[in-house]
Chains A and B, each alone.
Chain A
Amino acid sequence: MATLQLPGSTRQSTTEPGRGRPPRSFESSNRRLKWAMLTPALLFVGLMIAFPLAYTVNLSLTDAFGAVNAGSSHVGLRNFGDLLTDTRRFWPAAWRTLEFTVGAVLLETVLGLAVAMLLRKPFRGIRWVRTVLIIPLLTTPVAIGILWLLILDPTNGIANHLLSELGMPRMEFLGSVGQSLPTLMLIDVWQWTPMMALLLLAGLTTLPEEPEEAALVDGAGPWQRFRYVILPMLTPALGTALVLRAVDALKTFDLLYATKGPGGGADFEVETLNVYAYGLTFDYQEYGLAAALLVLFTLVIIGVVVALRRRATSSGRKDA
């Protein structure tokens, strides 16, 4: 479909070098087509996200409370000041978020890498292993929470039964303030280590074999081959997996809320930023404060993504 174009508006599109540029009419119809194909998705996501983000940023500067559309006035950055000086709920929640994310994701990475290396060489029955591995990460976190509540029930659970069979002390698990967060981290590790393992396994299968064979010929042992040959080549895949997992771990909500309820337990023992934001919004109707918290939280997540990505690319370059 040929269209007339004003001379000034003809932006030359950049086709791949080395290929002859198609005739103009071809090009412009392509340009229209690509936008026609892309616009519905862009528009949908844009509409669903642009207004809410603007609304939340605006809300964070007000003292909105009780009902969203009740009168509220702009209070500048007071909500942010209130949060950053709140050592009772905000800072503990921030540290818990950090502790949960770093602890769970680190364990998931190490264990996931170990499982991926274990499954790397093909063997009969790999499809059964993969089936078993995808089940936890495709199961509703609420169901996972209930399942572990039964297993870890302090008095009637199989976990304590096994511990006492082995002559070890019984544990309170989710029943105590001190053990709740570590226990939930381990449940998260159980649910998401398979994801890490599968992502890293996919990364491993794309690696070339020559460098490892060369290292073998040079007499490198298994650990040396892993540490100096495989790991550097795996860095990009590791980086991507880490970013994906860290973003989701920071935002963990379902598991925490399903097992410990609003506020993360009576002593807020598993209250992370996400759980706190939900509580501020729906239990206390502190919309302004909640919005400020969410703005801060979103900035933290973006910061983590940028930092992890930059690290992954720079170390990838260094190793290459």
Chain B
Amino acid sequence: MSAPRSKAWLGWLRAAAIVCVMLVFALPMVWMIAAAFKTNVQVTDPSVGLWFHPTLENIRTVLTEGPILRSMGNSLLIGVVSTVLSAVIAVPAAWAVGRFGMQRTGSLILVARIVPAISLLVPWYYLFAQLGLVGSYTVLILSHMFVSVPLILWIMISFFAGLPVELEEAARTDGLSAFGAFRRITLPLAAPGTATACLLAFVFSWNNFMFALVFADDSTQTVPVTLFQFMSYASTDWGGLMAAATLITAPVLIAALFGQKYLVAGLTSGAAKG
């Protein structure tokens, strides 16, 4: 008699706990977005809360008066190019690691995840200065690829491990070369995994702060650096700052809304196996 009742009670408790967890993680983001549409007087008055007359003034000012549009263009260019180039070299490598049991060789590349990026900045700076490339898109694309290649490799190794070998073997029996089997059979099957890995690589490139902080000049600056500089010269313009933060978070929010299934799969791939 009491068992079903306590079960229902537990269910409600669990639902309440889940709602609490969601509020904890969602409310700060909601607060940021709300502040982007407040006047500066409203932003610094906590009693205004979430009920107010929204204004587009901050967004308009940030878009027209600051360098943020150009930064978004730079980030988009660097993100897309570095992601595509990384996928071109990392996807075949992941396949080779998975199919030919080269885990040891593959894990060498993951050393790149361990080394603190700061220890690479001075040598890279020295090297790229010799080549006259500091401040160019090339340096930023190469440095962002340094993050994307291991990331895509990591995700794709476990993705390929989940694809059946039999299809490739059947294709080989039908006369395709090993490369042909990869290109005509496996690669199309790997499209969802590749898309996932690329989406994550793009997001991490979009968010990358340190490389552009050191290697970019005014014309190649990316969004996190623009936001950081905006903060240091207009620390009291909360409305403008929140508008800028919201603008550069918008692509991530859209990706999260439409691609959560893939993003979660990519973020957690390889984790369960240990």
Contacts and interface: CB of A to CB of B under 8 A. Distances in A.
Given A33-B179, A131-B260, A138-B256, A52 B120 contact: yes
A136 B123 contact: no
A162 B114 CA distance: 40
Nearest to A1: B177
Interface in A115-173: 115, 118-119, 123, 127-143, 146-148, 150-151, 153, 156-158, 160-162
A142 to B, nearest CB: 4
Interface stretch (B1-9, B24-32, B58-66, B189-197): B24-32
Given A42-B105, A49-B111, A56-B119, A150 B271 contact: no
B120 A236 contact: no
A26 to B, nearest CB: 8
- Majority secondary structure of chain A interface residues (helix, strand, loop or mixed): helix
B263 A281 contact: no
B117 interface: yes
B25 A194 contact: yes
B117 A135 contact: no
Nearest to A316: B274
B252 A138 contact: yes
B178 A30 contact: yes
Contacts of A258: 209, 228, 231
Interface stretch (A71-79, A82-90, A296-304): A296-304
Given A129-B21, A140-B224, A33 B178 contact: yes
A142 B271 CA distance: 27
Interface residues of B, number: 96
A291 interface: yes
A281 B122 CA distance: 8
Contacts, number: 269
Contacts of A52: 119-120, 122-124, 127
B88 to A, nearest CB: 8
A301 B114 contact: yes
B241 interface: yes
B242 A135 contact: no
Contact of A115 (B21, B223, B242): B21
Interface stretch (A174-182, A212-220, A239-247): A239-247
Given A38-B93, A134-B260, A118 B17 contact: yes
A290 to B, nearest CB: 7
B142 interface: yes
B21 A130 contact: no
Interface size class of A (residues with CB under 8 A): 35 or more
Interface string A190-212: 10001100110111011000000
A42 B252 contact: no
Nearest to B143: A48
Contacts of A240: 270-271, 273-274
A278 interface: yes
A237 interface: yes
Interface string B121-137: 11111110000000000
Nearest to B206: A140
A7 interface: no
Contacts of B46: 156-158, 160-162
Given A42-B105, A140-B206, 4 more contacts: A146-B242, A150-B241, A241-B271, A277-B116
Interface of B: 14-15, 17-18, 21-22, 24-26, 28-29, 31-32, 35, 43-47, 88-90, 92-93, 95-97, 99-102, 105-106, 108-109, 111-127, 142, 145-146, 149-150, 153, 177-179, 182, 203, 206-207, 209-210, 214, 223-224, 227-228, 231-232, 238, 241-242, 245, 248-249, 252-253, 255-257, 260-261, 263-264, 267-268, 270-274
29 contacts: A16-B101, A34-B102, A38-B97, A40-B89, A44-B89, A45-B112, A48-B146, A52-B127, A56-B123, A131-B256, A131-B260, A135-B29, A139-B249, A140-B248, A147-B31, A150-B241, A190-B28, A198-B267, A202-B268, A203-B271, A240-B271, A240-B274, A253-B210, A254-B210, A257-B209, A277-B118, A290-B122, A298-B115, A312-B274
